[in-house]
Amino acid sequence: LSSWPACLLFGEKTIELGIPGVKGVDCSTDDSVRHTIYPTLYYGFLFLLFILCLVFFTVIYAKIGAVIWKRKKAKIGETIPSSPNGRALNNSNTPSDQISTDPISTEMSSEQDGYNDKRASSDSKQALGKRPSRNSVRVTRTTVVLFAVTVAYVISFLPFLIVMVVRSVVKNFEENLSPEAEVAYKFCSKSYFINNAINPVIYSFLNINFRKDIKTIFRKCCSACCGCRN
């Protein structure tokens, strides 16, 4: 929905090469709209949308981190704040060992004397399946993967949006660049491709089974190489 203006703004951009009668063509902002306000409005809109997403992700992960930090600091028998869905994790009317989980990709388990399996709620059975001697809070792999995807999104889109907004606002921006700065500019102008390429890598390499299969493949390759040499 946010990309459809690109069909109208992007096209052939004529580049002066300094050679009489010879001009270059670059796939960029079309010559017909290059000196209008429309590219600036479009990139400004994308930058605003990016900032809103960044603020949203920051707030969400800050709330997740705050809950994990509170649970790590909580001691057995202490009152734990209510979960985001409004259910109290512990209060004076229920045993202090009754714990419920919330859908924020965290797991908590504890062991206390007098624990009653029958009184545990169905949504806490998974968290209470293992009963270590101390309170423990573990961030699940899903949270780690989603956080890595968010960081990759920020790193890949931020350079692109910055250089596009600057190029739209500053006149003759590209003409005044040094060769080194032009290389950096070209990289930043296509940095959003990193997000498309790195997501499968994140999902794959943060998967335990995938890593095990990779190790198995390397071992087989090494064994095959050693067998051929022998």
**What are the angstrom distances between the C-alpha of 206 and each of 147, 211, 215?**
12, 8, 14
- Residues 105, 139 contacting (CB under 8 angstroms): yes
**What are the angstrom distances between the C-alpha of 52 and each of 57, 157, 195, 204?**
9, 13, 18, 28
Per-residue pLDDT, 153: 87
Per-residue pLDDT, 76: 55
What CA–CA distance (Å, rounded) separates 219 from 211?
12
User: 22 in helix, strand or coil?
Assistant: strand
User: 25 in helix, strand or coil?
Assistant: strand
Q: Which two tokens stand for residue 222?
A: 């090494």
Per-residue pLDDT, 61: 87
**This prediction's pTM:** 0.52
What CA–CA distance (Å, rounded) separates 25 from 11?
10
**What are the angstrom distances between the C-alpha of 121 and each of 51, 99, 100, 118, 132?**
40, 8, 7, 8, 19
Q: Which two tokens stand for residue 94?
A: 């229920």
Per-residue pLDDT, 84: 53
Per-residue pLDDT, 71: 81
Q: Which segments in the chain show pLDDT lower than 50?
A: 86-123, 125-128, 132-135
Per-residue pLDDT, 83: 52
